[in-house]
Amino acid sequence: MKPNTARNVGSGDRWKRLLALPPMGYLLIFFAIPTLIMLFASFRYAGEYGGLAPWYGNEDGSLSINLTLENWQRLFETDLYLRLFLKSIMYALLATLLCILLGYPLALMIARSPKKHRDLLLLLVILPFWSNFLVRIYAWMIIFSPSGALTRMMNVLLATVGLAPVSLMYSSTAVIVCLVYVHLPFMVLPLYANLEKHNPALLAAAQDLGANRWRRFWDITWPLSLPGVYAGAILVFIPVLGTFAIPDLLGGTDGIMIANVIKQQFVESRDWPFGSVLSMALTAAAVLVVLLSAKMGTRRGTLR
Amino acid sequence: MKHKNLALILAAGAVFTFLYLPLVIVVVYSLNDSKLNAEWVGFTWKWYDQLFHNRALLTAARNSLMIAAISAGAATVLGTLAGMGMYHYRLKVLPALVLTPIAMPDILMGVSLLLFFIMLNMSLGLISIVLAHITFCIGFVAVSVRARMSGIDPSLSEAARDLGASPWHCFQKITLPLLAPGILAGALMAFTLSIDDFVITFFVAGVGSSTLPLQIYSMVKIAVTPEVNAISTLLMVLTLILITLTARLFPGALRS
């Protein structure tokens, strides 16, 4: 007799299958179909007054199919957009690296603190993340503002060395700092989840065998934590790649990223087909990164 | 060993400062009696007072709460079903549909939904916002419920069924109470995500309807004013109360 486990549903429980239908239907309609529509829109002509032109038929009633590769060609015509993609990827890489640099000590400290304190410390990491996204950006607008204490202090220091004053607001520095600030919890949480599972006996054994703390870290803790690092890196890299609010508010003209141009195409210039092309390219870049890091993650895994 | 711990604690302390200092600055300046966010002039409540006379802001806040309540409610029901479905069946389509929206950059969902609503000739407004919010919240509820499902011993519901409980009765008496912390955590997450969302709302809101994040965005875009400090502080206090309440009422809900 076959045991009737939860995964092996008996005929009486077949109705359970139907339960998954409503969410599946909802996501099909409001996620999968809109994505396909956007893919389709990337091959259509822009309407005269913005939006989309009809994709079949003419005004005189004759039948024709109006689809084009022009929008995609425009992406490669100049190196403007490719450069912007590259720049956004560099920003995202830099933000990810800084998140690892800042998030690692924090995650390690929490994982090695007494068990009763861990929940509270984790909550302290998540808490700023629960405050509104725009509030967190806005906080940095205050800090970087020309009349703010940070800028004035820096300029006093610069003046004593005889350098011209600088402005932090509307610079790529401001964008990167804020990107790191907003996405740091995404790095700390998966890292902590990994570090917490490490067996302390390994470190004790290494110490008994004479390894100093640097060797203990680089030979044991770091390689074991790589899956956590990869998970965190994906969680930081992808949303950063698609950010438009932070460069919009802190970046000025220098600090814009690819998502700013997407927003511009959809909202200001209302060139939806080209906006769709850029969005699909961003999707492709995001998917590529996930696949790449998944591959790297598994290769590391087999090496160990 | 002690030495290393000290270095680690100092580094972690510095990162905590980095996380909290900006928020502290916002709160402090919200109580500062000066139009500029620069020097401390004196204590005042007047920015808060101004808030409660800002019609547009109050309407936006009401919209945000309404949208969050409806979207979180609907997303909790759909997400719970999706989470249970993901646990019970190895359907490849379901996890793909549930998890991809979480992984994709927000702006992509925003613009594709904009195209979709326009194509259907739907006027943009509160309804399109709610439909969009439900879409991005389902995944988070589903993940939370799915995680909770793995911790439940399947023999409990089997025993109930063997003893003659109907599937619905079994769900009501066994599965649902055990799932509750996961569902609640998911619902809370959905509510906060909805209240917090700026990017997707920005694209599907249309001209007539505003939410709190959209309102804050347009205020910040024009000028950095102490009023924004005050609304930001209020939002932080609200979130803090919500989290503390949940932690008190349902210990364990926040852990998952």
Confidence of residue B173 (pLDDT cuts 50, 70, 90): confident
**What pLDDT digit, counting tens, does each position of B8-26 carry?**
888 889 999 999 999 898 8
B103 CB near a chain A CB, below 8 Å? yes
Q: Is residue A277 part of a domain?
A: yes
Q: Is residue B25 part of a domain?
A: no
Q: Is residue B193 part of a domain?
A: yes
The two structure tokens encoding residue A27: 């996501």
Confidence of residue A172 (pLDDT cuts 50, 70, 90): confident
B160 CB near a chain A CB, below 8 Å? no
**What pLDDT digit, counting tens, does each position of A43-101 carry?**
988 877 777 777 776 767 677 777 888 889 888 888 889 999 999 999 999 999 999 99
B157 CB near a chain A CB, below 8 Å? yes
Q: Is residue B148 part of a domain?
A: yes
Asked if B84 and A20 come within 8 Å (Cβ–Cβ), the reply is yes
The alpha-carbon gap from A70 to the nearest alpha carbon of chain B, in Å, equals 19
Q: What is the pLDDT of residue B171?
A: 82
Widest pairwise Cα distance in chain B: 73
DSSP 3-state percent helix, strand, coil across chain A (nearest 5) = 70, 0, 25
Selected residue of B102, B115, B174 to mutate for chain A interface (largest A Cβ count, 10 A)? B115
**What pLDDT digit, counting tens, does each position of A129-157 carry?**
877 888 889 888 888 887 777 777 777 78
Task: Taking residues B153-175, report their average pLDDT.
Answer: 84
Which residues touch A56 (CB under 8 Å, ≥6 apart)?
Answer: A63, A64, A65, A66
Q: Is the pLDDT of residue A302 over 50?
A: no
Q: Is residue B32 part of a domain?
A: no
Residue of higher predicted confidence among B132 and B30: B132
In chain B, residues with a C-beta closer than 8 Å to the C-beta of A125 are: 19
* Chain B residues 108-137 with a CB less than 8 Å from chain A: 108-109, 111-116, 118-119, 131-132, 134-135
- Of B153, B134, B143, the C-alpha closest to B185 is B143
User: Is residue B68 a contact partner of residue A222, using CB atoms and an 8 Å limit?
Assistant: no
Confidence of residue B220 (pLDDT cuts 50, 70, 90): confident
Confidence of residue A32 (pLDDT cuts 50, 70, 90): very high
In chain A, residues with a C-beta closer than 8 Å to the C-beta of B104 are: 238, 242, 283, 286
Q: How far apart are CA B249 and CA B185, in angstroms?
A: 12
Q: Provide the CATH number for the domain around residue A123.
A: 1.10.3720.10
Q: How far apart are CA A128 and CA B27, in angstroms?
A: 13
User: Is residue A255 a contact partner of residue A245, using CB atoms and an 8 Å limit?
Assistant: no
Alpha helices in chain B, H assignment, sequence order: 2-30, 46-51, 55-88, 93-103, 106-119, 126-150, 154-162, 167-170, 176-196, 199-204, 212-222, 226-249
Asked if B243 and A38 come within 8 Å (Cβ–Cβ), the reply is no
In chain A, residues with a C-beta closer than 8 Å to the C-beta of B220 are: 134, 137-138, 141, 249
Number of independent structural domains in chain A: 1
Q: Is residue A167 part of a domain?
A: no
In chain A, residues with a C-beta closer than 8 Å to the C-beta of B131 are: 30
Selected residue of B34, B64, B88, B211 to mutate for chain A interface (largest A Cβ count, 10 A)? B88
The alpha-carbon gap from A264 to the nearest alpha carbon of chain B, in Å, equals 11
**Which CA distances in Å does A131 have to A41, A136, A241, B126, B243?**
36, 7, 22, 23, 11
The two structure tokens encoding residue A294: 């998944």
Report helix angle A272-303 to A80-112, nearest 10: 40
Q: Is residue B151 part of a domain?
A: yes
Provide the 10 A C-beta neighbour count for residue B43: 8
B244 CB near a chain A CB, below 8 Å? no
Indicate the SS3 state at residue A65.
strand
Unique residue bearing structure tokens 């599907």? B204
Torsion of CA B256, B189, B196, A284, to 10 degrees: 80
The alpha-carbon gap from B88 to the nearest alpha carbon of chain A, in Å, equals 5
Asked if B138 and A23 come within 8 Å (Cβ–Cβ), the reply is yes
B57 CB near a chain A CB, below 8 Å? no
Q: Is the pLDDT of residue B4 over 60?
A: no
Q: Is residue A133 part of a domain?
A: no
Confidence of residue B1 (pLDDT cuts 50, 70, 90): very low
Asked if B91 and A108 come within 8 Å (Cβ–Cβ), the reply is no
Q: Which residues of A149-167 are buried (b: 16+ CB within 10 A; e: fewer)?
A: eebeebbeeeeeeeeeeee
**What pLDDT digit, counting tens, does each position of A96-121 carry?**
999 999 999 999 999 988 888 888 88
B238 CB near a chain A CB, below 8 Å? no
CA A139 to chain centre: 21
Q: How far apart are CA A219 and CA B35, in angstroms?
A: 54
Which residues touch A128 (CB under 8 Å, ≥6 apart)?
Answer: A136, A185, B19, B20, B23
**What pLDDT digit, counting tens, does each position of A258-300 carry?**
999 999 999 888 889 999 999 999 999 888 887 887 777 666 5
Q: Is the pLDDT of residue A11 over 50?
A: no
Return the DSSP state at A268: I
Q: Is residue B194 part of a domain?
A: yes
Indicate the SS3 state at residue B40.
coil
Q: Is residue B81 part of a domain?
A: yes
Provide the 10 A C-beta neighbour count for residue A59: 6
Q: Provide the CATH number for the domain around residue B57.
A: 1.10.3720.10
The alpha-carbon gap from B129 to the nearest alpha carbon of chain A, in Å, equals 12
**What pLDDT digit, counting tens, does each position of B96-121 carry?**
888 888 888 899 999 999 999 998 98
- Of A175, A169, A185, A191, the C-alpha closest to A94 is A175
Q: Is the pLDDT of residue A4 over 50?
A: no
Residue A52, beta-bridge partner list: A46
In chain B, residues with a C-beta closer than 8 Å to the C-beta of A234 are: 103
Q: How far apart are CA A110 and CA A129, in angstroms?
A: 17
Q: Is residue A158 part of a domain?
A: no
Q: Is the pLDDT of residue A37 over 90?
A: yes
Q: Which domain holds residue B69?
A: 49-249
Q: Is residue B163 part of a domain?
A: yes
Number of independent structural domains in chain B: 1
Q: How far apart are CA A46 and CA A53, in angstroms?
A: 5
Task: Say which of A7, A134, A283 has its CB closest to residue B108.
Answer: A283
Q: Is residue A244 part of a domain?
A: yes
Q: Is residue A73 part of a domain?
A: yes
Q: What's at A25, amino acid-wise?
A: G
Q: Which domain holds residue A200?
A: 34-52+68-127+181-303
